Amino acid sequence: MQRKITFKQAINEAMAQEMARDESVIAMGEDNVGGRGGEGEMDAWGGVLGVTKGLYGKFGDRIIDTPISESAFIGAAVGAAACGLRPVAELMFVDFLGVCFDQIFNQAAKFRYMFGGKAVTPVVIRTMFGAGFRAAAQHSQCLYSIFTHIPGLKCVVPSTPYDAKGLLIASIRDNDPVIFFEHKLLYGLEGEVPEESFTIPFGEANIVREGNDVTVVAIGRMVHMALQAAEDLAKEGIECEIIDPRTTSPLDEETILESVANTGRLVVVDESHPRCNMATDIAAIAAQKAFGDLKAPVSMVCAPHTPVPFSDALEDLYIPSPAKVKAAVNGVVEYAK
């Protein structure tokens, strides 16, 4: 049996191994050195949820504590990347990326293109996303679709500790800007992860579960919702093939389309709002490239088009659940038996 660690430890280990391997890798973010106003390793908070805890003791000055000024330090990270470092900037909540749009969309994403391919921008922006943390509308959004829209950015959304480690190492070694999305409710998830460094290539979906009846594409934490639904459905004789794209940009269309060609039915589970999100994108790809294979309309399981509610009861209702996935799968199966 291989060693099991949590999603959070997997990210910490990926950063530690890359920082040890390559001196140009630095980390920056809020509260990652002195969380309570103190100094030194004992007080090093390791970011708001302690993901980078322990790195300050190992790497000292290469862990940079930033003010609560996202537009400034994301800009600094992009600039440092353009000048030869490999910064990993931690932006507490994806919701705050709004104040850094120019730095990300118009600078980081464009350098390679504006400078005739002569500039590279090897920056990684790690950021937490997702609902279910009782953190209300401004700390719970699921915004990977917005970044997926921008050419020049790569978007990574891991769902397991193994993927988190391999994809973060790949992100750090990549020469383009990467936005790395961490669902905060996955941090405690345990899984088998090799102690050695390894990479997972971008644009290769993971077939999480094989099945011949319905293709279910799910992203981030939704992979686990889909898995729960699939176990129930299997008892009713419906076998779901669950595909986790792992990176939304680049997107592994081929694996999705091959699966749809086999099953003829597609359900997409995406925690983001249902307009212009990954679910609509994947549904559109299926409509354009797999129309002849489809036996039923593509079904989307998404959050509603409303800010994340603060009420616990409403927030629970807001998030796509295994029951909703199950209903959607039953719907596409019933449509064409």
Partner 1 sequence: MSNRIGPITMPKWGLSMQEGTVNRWLANEGDTVQAGTAIVEVESDKIAGSLEIPTGGILRRRVATEAQVLPVGALLGVVAEADVSDAEIDSFVVEFQSRFVPGASEQDNVAIGPETVVVDGHTLSYLRRGESGEAVLLIHGFGGDKNNWLFNHEVLAAGHVVYAIDLPGHGASDKRVGDPTLEGITKTVIGFADALQLGDFHLIGHSFGGAIGMLTALRSPTRVRSLTLIDSAGLGSEIDAEYVRAFARTNSRKELKALTGRLFANEELVTRSLVEDLLRFKRLDGVPTALEAIASAFLDGDRQRTVLAPQVAQLGKPIRIIWGAKDRIIPASHSNALGDSAKVHVFPNAGHMVQMEAANEVNRILLD
Residue 197 binds partner 1, judged by CB under 8 A: yes
CB of 201 to partner 1, least distance (A): 6
- Closest C-alpha to 184, from 66, 76, 60, 319: 319
Binding-site member from 77, 94, 97, 200 for partner 1 (CB under 8 A)? 200
Q: Looking at 38, 40, 60, 201, which residue binds partner 1 (CB under 8 A)?
A: 201
157-176 binders of partner 1 (CB under 8 A): 162, 166
**Cα–Cα distance, 295 to 306 (Å, whole number):** 31
Residue 204 makes contact with partner 1 by CB under 8 A: yes
Q: Does 188 bind partner 1 (CB under 8 A)?
A: no
Task: Please check whether residue 159 is in contact with residue 246, taking contact to mean a CB–CB distance below 8 angstroms.
Answer: yes
Q: Which of 99, 194, 212, 323 binds partner 1 (CB under 8 A)?
A: 194
3 makes contact with partner 1 (CB under 8 A): no
Q: How far is CA 42 from CA 18, 45, 53, 136, in A?
A: 23, 8, 10, 31
Number of residues that bind partner 1 (CB under 8 A): 13
Q: Are 215 and 238 in contact (CB under 8 A)?
A: no
Write out the two tokens for 26: 């630095």
Q: How far is the CB of 258 from partner 1 (least distance, A)?
A: 9
Least distance in angstroms from the C-beta of 191 to partner 1: 12
Give yes or no for residue 236 binding partner 1 (CB under 8 A): no
Q: Out of 6, 24, 199, 228, point to the residue binding partner 1 (CB under 8 A).
A: 199
Q: How far is the CB of 198 from partner 1 (least distance, A)?
A: 4
CB of 283 to partner 1, least distance (A): 24
| Residue where the block lists tokens 């950063």 | 15
Sorted by sequence, the CB contacts under 8 Å of residue 111 that are 6+ apart come out as: 82, 119, 120, 121
Strand (E) or helix (H) holding 139: none
Q: How many Cβ atoms from other residues are within 10 Å of residue 192's Cβ?
A: 12
- Residue 207 makes contact with partner 1 by CB under 8 A: yes
CA distance readout (Å), 107 to 44, 101, 103: 31, 9, 5
Query: Quick check: 196 binds partner 1 (CB under 8 A)?
Result: yes
Restricting to residues 271-310, which ones interact with partner 1 according to CB under 8 A?
none
Using rule CB under 8 A, residue 23 touches partner 1: no
- Among 219, 220, 218, smallest CA distance to 230 is for 218
Q: Between 1 and 83, whose beta carbon lies closer to partner 1? A: 1
For tokens 């978007």, the residue is 155
Q: In 3-state terms, what secondary structure has residue 127?
A: strand
Catalytic residue (one of 139, 183, 224, 273): 139
Name the minimum Å distance from CB 205 to partner 1. 9
Closer residue to partner 1, CB minimum distance, 2 or 306: 2
Q: CA-based angle 261:263:265, to the nearest 5?
A: 100
Binder among 1, 42, 83, 313 for partner 1 (CB under 8 A)? 1
The nearer residue to partner 1, 228 or 321, going by C-beta atoms, is 228
Beta strands in 202-278 (DSSP E): 206-209, 214-218, 240-244, 247-249, 266-270
Per the annotation, the verdict on 305 as an active-site residue is no
What are the residue numbers of the active site?
139
Judged by the rule CB under 8 A, the positions of this chain that interact with partner 1 are 1, 162, 166, 194, 196-201, 204, 207, 210
